[in-house]
Structure 1
Amino acid sequence: MARLSQSAVPSFFKIRARLPIEGRTNQVLGASRHMNVVLKTYASGGENELHAHSNEDHVFVVMQGSALFYGPRGETRRVVKNECVLIPCGAFYWFQAEANEPLVMLRIGAAVNPDTDVLARVDPDGMPFDGYSEKNKEVAYRLHEDQWFE
């Protein structure tokens, strides 16, 4: 993402990814100093843990499948294909892919302060929280050989 954000010219990309059998993937498609676009795929049932982004507003656009989004007090909302959710900086949430098919989301993020870490996140106690950790339910991914989202 850091390398892509240095470019001062338009970037072009295709929304395409192999689908996961298990785990999740994050494919950075484009980035600028203030914005990034990531294609995220989750195997059926994949999830993460309650967290907030401390330096970014972002929106998820569901491209395939569906997910249950949860708030810090157990609020729940089902989001399906062609629906979106905007997460303001500092808002706590987590989500789980529903079990019917892999979840594919386009994630568009906007840095609050581009001079600090756009990937920074915190747990409910306000402590730094690594999004690529076992604590965030990160598991090794395996991809289908012949199943693609495009």
Structure 2
Amino acid sequence: MTTNSPSHSFAPIVNSAAEWRAEMARLNKPGQPSFFHIRTQLPKQGRTNQVLGASRYMNVVLKTYASGGENEIHAHSNEDHVFVILQGGAVFHGPNGETREAGRNDCVLLPAGTFYWFHAKEDREELVMLRIGAHIDPDSDVLARIDLEGKPFDGYSEKNKEVPVVLHEDRIFE
């Protein structure tokens, strides 16, 4: 381990599942600790994903959503993951109409195969979440997700309510 000063730059925003996978591969350093700082520009519109750390079995991603931002119902078939809400709030929805509000310092653990969707609360600040994922089978696609019919579901698609990201010039979460 070398002694370097901490870097407080922004982690790159990944704009596709392929970029997410590539960033996890770049950050995976077997036998070495990973250090990262939670810092990001906040979105006026859309959502961001920034891979902060990764190993063969885990990944840590900083996610932001503009007020009212959302995704569509899906399940991750090869990953358990937890969301830790750092700012703002969200309403999580299940496949049978279940809802649960969550705010700052609330967490939700989603075992692989759990169907859900959520939207950022519109009456709060931008939603900022730390997402920690654990691979079920590290030799299979950790980003595999499915829709309610069991079909592959691209998280970066219009079907998943993806919209172009517009960042605030002067609003940063740290």
Tell me the TM-score range normalised by the shorter chain: over 0.9
Letter in structure 2 aligned against 1:129: F
Instruction: Tell me the amino acid that sits aligned with residue 54 of structure 2.
Output: A
Return the offset for 1:7: 3.8
Deviation at 1:4, TM superposition (A): 1.5
Shift of 1:6: 4.4
Report the RMSD for the aligned CA atoms in angstroms. Answer: 0.7
| Structure 1 unmatched runs, 5+ | none
Secondary structure of 2:28's aligned partner: helix
* Identical amino acids, percent of aligned pairs: 71
- Asked if residue 60 in structure 1 is aligned to residue 83 in structure 2, the reply is yes
Which SS does the other structure have where 1:46 is aligned? coil
- What letter is aligned with 1:58? H
Which of 52, 55, 70 is 1:29 aligned to? 52
Q: Between Structure 1 and Structure 2, which shows a larger proportion of strand residues?
A: 1
Higher helix share: 2
**Count of aligned residue pairs for this structure pair:** 150
Q: Which residue of 1 aligns with 2:147?
A: 123
Matched, 1:47 2:48: no
Q: What does the per-residue CA deviation read over 1:8-29, in whole Å, with 9 as the maximum and x for residues that have no partner?
A: 3111000000000000000000
Task: State the TM-score, normalizing by the size of structure 2.
Answer: 0.85
State the partner residue of 2:9.
none
2:157 maps to a residue whose letter is: S
Residue 18 of structure 2 corresponds to: none
The runs of 4+ residues in structure 1 deviating greater than 3 Å are none
Runs of at least 5 residues in structure 2 that lack an aligned partner in the other structure: 1-23
Q: Distance in 1 between matches of 2:134 and 2:49?
A: 17
TM-score (norm 1): 0.98
Query: Partner of 2:102 in structure 1?
Result: 79
| 1:113 has 2:137 as partner | yes
User: What is the match of residue 41 of structure 2?
Assistant: 18
How far 1:5 moved relative to its partner?
2.3
Offset of 1:102 from its aligned partner?
A: 0.4
